[in-house]
């Protein structure tokens, strides 16, 4: 198998069907691996119902995202490992673009946010390691299996920011993360203000873990502050709370 698409999911029946529908257009060179963290909303049953008509490997495993993604890696057979979130959809030419860049060891694609919320244009909070951006999320992120064999799988101590940790290890191992604007997925972001702040708190915990492991400090996004001063200030405040109070790892 050339390419394995790896997705973890828990209680996302609202979005997982959209992802699966978009993946149905891919040819047989693509293997789809989904690990469900024991959903209770019908997600797993839905995946069971569509698995027979697709090249879909389906399993269940409890644990955080790092645990789920590592299980996806273990179950996969592709030489290219593509991480996608359950609340995303691939673009029409996504598969063709991916095949055109098979020589790239690590590649991050473009994520277009659904315009349903007022903060859909918020950008990532930058974090640089050796002068390289390491904050590309494990959504539309492509790793050669040889790179994973070299640097190791996701650090399961990370409940969040496990993708930043993996990217840091890739850069530290001498690999370049190539950003490809033509490899596009559409992401359905959180729709409520409360869920945005909850995610910011979680992100703060992740940045704390990165700081402890690598001594790497986070920053803030001036563009976000200019476009959405109230929302971004709130997000920064909750991120700081997570950084200071969240977890003990």
The secondary structure of 34-54 as a DSSP string is EEE---SSSHHHHHHHHHTTT
144 beta partners = 80
Confidence at residue 35, expressed as pLDDT on a 0 to 100 scale: 98
**pLDDT tens-digit readout, 92-120:** 999 999 999 999 999 999 999 886 656 56
Which pLDDT value is given to residue 247? 58
Structural class in CATH, domain 3-191: alpha beta
In the prediction, which pLDDT does 29 show?
A: 85
Average pLDDT over the chain, rounded to whole? 88
pLDDT at 211: 87
How far is the C-alpha of 131 from the C-alpha of 3, rounded, in Å? Answer: 30
User: Tokens 């650090």 identify what position?
Assistant: 155
Q: Read off φ and ψ for residue 7, nearest 5 degrees.
A: -135, 135
- Rounded to two decimals, what is the model's pTM? 0.90
pLDDT class of 181 with cuts at 50, 70, 90: very high
In 35-151, which residue ranges form alpha helices assigned H by DSSP? 43-51, 65-75, 94-100, 145-151
Query: What is residue 111's predicted lDDT score, i.e. its pLDDT?
Result: 93
* CA nearest neighbour of 7 among 95, 85, 120, 122: 85
């Amino acid at each position: 198998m050339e390419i394995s698409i790896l997705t973890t999911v828990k209680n996302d029946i609202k979005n997982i069907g959209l992802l699966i529908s978009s993946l149905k257009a891919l040819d047989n060179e693509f293997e789809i691996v989904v690990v469900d963290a024991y959903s209770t909303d019908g997600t797993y049953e839905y995946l069971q119902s569509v698995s027979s008509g697709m090249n879909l490997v389906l399993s269940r495993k409890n644990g955080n995202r790092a645990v789920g993604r590592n299980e996806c890696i273990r179950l996969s057979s592709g030489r290219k490992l593509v991480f996608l979130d359950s609340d995303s959809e691939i673009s029409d030419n996504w598969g063709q673009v991916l095949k055109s860049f098979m020589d790239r060891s690590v590649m991050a694609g473009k994520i277009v946010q659904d315009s349903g919320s007022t903060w859909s244009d918020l950008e990532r909070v930058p974090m640089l390691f050796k002068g390289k951006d390491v904050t590309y999320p494990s959504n539309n992120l492509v790793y050669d299996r040889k790179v994973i064999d070299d640097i190791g799988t996701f650090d399961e101590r990370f409940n969040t920011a496990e993708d930043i940790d993996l990217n840091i290890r890739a850069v530290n191992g001498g690999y370049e993360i190539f950003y490809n604007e033509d490899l596009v997925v559409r992401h359905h972001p959180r729709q409520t203000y409360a869920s945005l702040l909850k995610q910011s708190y979680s992100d703060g915990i992740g940045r704390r873990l990165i700081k402890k492991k690598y001594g790497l400090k986070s920053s803030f996004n001036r563009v976000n502050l200019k476009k959405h001063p109230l929302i971004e200030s709130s997000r920064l405040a909750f991120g700081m709370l997570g950084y200071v109070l969240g977890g003990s790892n």
